[in-house]
Amino acid sequence: MLIIHYSPVLAQTPTDSLQIRETVLNYLEGMETNNPQRIEKAMHPDLAKRTIAKNKEGIEYPLNMTAASLIGYSKDFDFGLFYKGDIDPEVPLKSEVTIYEISNGIATVKAETNKFEFVDYIHLGKLNGEWKIINILWVMTGNTNKWMNQE
């Protein structure tokens, strides 16, 4: 028995990788500079940003953030609280964006920086010709930052 699966192929253009990288940088650099316009440009309105948190009893649960809340925080939140403890705040932000796969209008990316003490695993979708971040699963990569050491 021969089963033929048909699905329309959305061709990856030579600029997709550049556009994906630009979208991720709008998100990261938008946080670094408190620029809600850059973050909004990168996000799909239905964004789901999550991390695994722990309550006072030690029970782990997914902590959720929406595009609206991330954009709102970006106006005046001190994202420097997430800097690695030994980083000079004046050092320029350098981001490493690793594209794992681009396939049929979706992409999977890992993003890290020299300053922030977290890593993001990002899913993007190409909607109406633009790459937008739809999902982010993030994790702290250490415990030297001010956010982790709040009283």
**Residues 4-19: tens digit of each pLDDT:** 433 344 556 678 999 9
CA 140 to chain centre: 13
**pLDDT band for position 141 (cuts 50, 70, 90):** very high
Q: Please report the pLDDT score of residue 140 as a whole number.
A: 93
**What six digits make up the tokens of 107?**
């992409």
- Edge-to-edge, what's the strand order for the sheet holding 43-54? 60-66, 43-54, 130-140, 118-127, 106-113, 95-103
* 3-state secondary structure (DSSP) of residue 91: coil
* 136 close to 49: Cβ distance less than 8 angstroms: yes
> What is the rounded distance in angstroms from the CA atom of residue 111 to the CA atom of residue 27?
10
**Does 138 score more than 50 pLDDT?**
yes
Q: Would the pTM of this model clear 0.85, i.e. be above it?
A: yes
